[in-house]
């Protein structure tokens, strides 16, 4: 997986206080510079989201600079934050994600011919052709587009494969979502592109079912054109989950069945603190492919089509523990217990018991999920473990790595009033161990 990178955005200063109160410095939205990296303040570095208005204005201006004239409109998609249910989608399991306020924006204009022009702000650092790509719709085919444009052109290709069609398009992309941080930055580019093309080609794919169709097209494009494996969690979340809610996704069917769940952490003074540990997993794609293969091999060894088929089956855990291969045994154990944790956390969110007890239970499941991903799935890293362990010592209710792992980010369920203090503790722990300082987001 090679997501788009937008790390070198010029700062835009907006007035107003940081959302977490006076201890937190004012930070321009989208700024990714480390505050205090010279040792002057020692404050943790926060990545603020753009408001929708800021994102849209910025992207329309970028479009004009890149292609001249005005865009027909601007569309956007958020980051994916898995609350719980990691590495379950491709085993037909359950996951419970939400979305970030950080989004990727695509300004777009319909053309009269079949040309496609794409500009991506800040893509200069990425593998690929620099900041722009130009070609024709008919040029887009498996193995024909390399680097970052493959994630964008893949959507056009996959929609056409599904029988949707339209003329060429001009696109301009910006983002305040950190790239390669386990928050679905590739999926956000694909989904924002799909929404733009849906409008420009007048496809009217606007209902939840229709967005599921767009998500499946994004998945096909990522696999065929970008040649990056994905289980579909990112795209279905990014096109179907609204801000402020959790989406239970059941991958026993394709497209997955989505159930909207209230996510009332803010009502109880809680938030999800994301720590981008800034270790970019070079072996992420290889590790991801290997885990998928191992899960398929474990299912075959256990005589089921997918590991999810063992959830709730009498004696299943006994069968798993009887697997002779210790690696397949551990992978199967993670998937089955992780799906059980999703079921438990969904029930806690929907439950009517005392809220604080339910939040404590949810927090424990987050720690268990991390332990399972670290020990049984071997997808964690020393940096992810350090962020989770420090969050635990700082009083977080729960914490775990998010996304594919092998680098990326963690989340911690914390009191909003404590988010600054927990972030400072994590920041200090990284500095003390000689690591690059992390960056923080809140949801
Ligand atoms: C990546 C993939 C998703 C999912 C997660 C792990 O983000 O794109 O499909 O498998 O890893 O939960």
What's the CATH number where 209 sits? 3.30.230.10
Domain boundary among 220, 240, 264: 264
The answer to whether residue 18 is domain-embedded is no
Looking at ligand 1, which atom is closest to the CA of residue 232? 9
3-state secondary structure of 230: coil
- Spatial distance between the Cα atoms of 179 and 158, rounded to a whole number of angstroms: 23
Let me know: does 135 contact 168? Beta carbons within 8 Å.
no
Residues 98 and 208 in one domain: yes
CA–CA distance, 414 with 426 (Å, rounded to integer): 13
Q: Using CA atoms, how far apart are residues 173 and 365, in angstroms rounded to an integer?
A: 37
Q: How many CB atoms are closer than 10 A to CB 296?
A: 17
- Position 45 in a domain: no
Clarify whether residues 172 and 229 are in a common domain: yes
**The two structure tokens encoding residue 126:** 């990425």
Does ligand 1 have an atom closer than 6 angstroms to the CB of 231?
yes
Q: Is 3 in the pocket of ligand 1 (CB under 6 A)?
A: no
- The per-residue pLDDT for range 218-254, each reduced to its tens digit, is 999 999 999 998 999 999 999 999 999 999 999 999 9
Residue 384: give its domain's CATH number. 3.30.70.890
Q: Which residue, judged by its Cα, is nearest atom 2 of ligand 1?
A: 230
Q: What is the pLDDT of residues 170-200, one digit of tens each?
A: 999 999 999 989 999 999 999 999 999 999 9
Q: Is the CB of 180 under 6 A from ligand 1?
A: no
Last residue of a domain, one of 212, 239, 264: 264
In a domain, 339, yes or no: yes
My answer on whether 273 and 259 are in the same domain is: no
Residue 395, both tokens:
């009083």
Residues 215 and 276 in one domain: no
Does residue 421 form part of some domain?
A: yes
Looking at residue 130, its pLDDT comes to 74
In a domain, residue 37? The reply is: no
32, part of any domain: no
Please, what is the Cα angle at 79 between 74 and 83, to 5 degrees? 150
Residue 169 domain-assigned? Answer: yes
Residue 82, pLDDT > 70, answer yes
Cα of 230 vs centre of ligand 1, distance in Å, is 6
Ligand 1 nearest-atom number relative to CA 231? 9
The verdict on the CB of residue 248 being under 6 Å from ligand 1 is no
Compute and round to an integer the Cα radius of gyration of the chain.
21
Give the pLDDT of residue 126: 61
Would the pTM of this model clear 0.85, i.e. be above it? yes
Same domain? For 284 and 205 the reply is: no
Q: Which two tokens stand for residue 176?
A: 């305040």
Q: Which of 220, 247, 264 is the last residue of a domain?
A: 264
The verdict on residue 43 lying in a domain is no
Q: Where are the beta strands (DSSP E) in 232-374?
A: 245-250, 257-262, 270-276
Whether residues 192 and 280 share a domain: the answer is no
The domain total for the chain is: 2
Residue 199 β-bridge partners: none
Q: Find the mean pLDDT for residues 364-371.
A: 98
Alpha-carbon distance of 224 to 160, in angstroms, equals 13
- Counting Cβ atoms within 10 Å, is residue 257 exposed (0-12), middle (13-18) or buried (19+)? middle
* Residue-number span of the structural domain to which 223 is assigned: 50-264
Question: Which residues are marked as active site?
Answer: 234
Is residue 256 lining ligand 1, measured as CB closer than 6 Å?
A: no
């Amino acid at each position: 997986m090679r997501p788009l990178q937008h790390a070198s955005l010029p700062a835009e200063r907006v007035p107003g206080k940081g959302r977490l109160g006076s201890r937190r410095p004012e930070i321009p939205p989208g700024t990714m510079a480390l505050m205090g990296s010279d040792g002057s303040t020692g404050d943790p570095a926060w990545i603020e989201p753009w408001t929708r208005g800021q994102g849209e204005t910025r992207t329309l201006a970028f479009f004009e600079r890149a292609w001249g004239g005005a865009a027909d409109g601007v569309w956007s998609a958020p980051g994916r934050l898995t609350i719980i249910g990691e590495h379950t989608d491709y085993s037909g399991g359950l996951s419970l994600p939400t979305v970030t306020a950080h989004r990727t924006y695509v300004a777009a204009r319909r053309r009269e011919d079949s040309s496609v022009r794409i500009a991506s702000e800040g893509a200069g650092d990425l593998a690929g052709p620099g900041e722009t790509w130009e070609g024709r719709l008919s040029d887009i085919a498996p193995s024909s587009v390399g680097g970052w444009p493959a994630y964008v052109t893949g959507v056009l290709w996959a929609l056409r494969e599904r029988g949707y069609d339209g003329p060429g398009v001009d696109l301009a992309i910006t983002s305040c979502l950190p790239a390669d941080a386990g928050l679905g930055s590739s999926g956000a580019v694909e989904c924002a592109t799909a929404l733009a093309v849906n409008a420009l080609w007048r496809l009217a794919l606007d209902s939840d079912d229709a967005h599921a169709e767009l998500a499946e097209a994004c998945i096909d494009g990522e696999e065929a054109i970008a040649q990056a494996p994905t289980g579909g969690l990112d795209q279905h979340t990014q096109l179907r989950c609204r801000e402020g809610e959790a989406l239970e996704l059941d991958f026993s069917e394709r497209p997955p069945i989505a159930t909207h769940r209230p996510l009332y952490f803010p009502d109880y003074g809680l938030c999800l603190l994301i720590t981008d540990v800034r270790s970019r997993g070079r072996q992420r794609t290889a590790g991801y492919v290997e885990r998928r293969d191992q899960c398929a091999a474990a299912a075959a060894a256990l005589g089921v089509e997918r590991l999810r088929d063992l959830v709730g089956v009498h004696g299943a855990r006994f069968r798993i523990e009887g697997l002779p291969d210790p690696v397949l045994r551990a992978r199967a154990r993670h998937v089955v217990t992780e799906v059980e944790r999703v079921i438990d956390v969904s029930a806690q969110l929907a439950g009517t018991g005392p809220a604080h007890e339910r939040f404590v239970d949810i927090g424990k499941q987050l720690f268990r999920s991390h332990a399972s991903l670290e020990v049984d799935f071997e997808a964690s890293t020393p940096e992810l473990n350090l962020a989770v362990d420090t969050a635990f010592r700082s009083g977080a209710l729960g914490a775990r790595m998010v996304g594919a792992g092998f680098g990326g980010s963690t989340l911690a369920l914390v009191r909003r009033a404590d988010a600054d203090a927990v972030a400072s503790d994590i920041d200090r722990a990284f500095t003390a161990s000689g690591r690059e300082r992390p960056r923080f987001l809140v949801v």
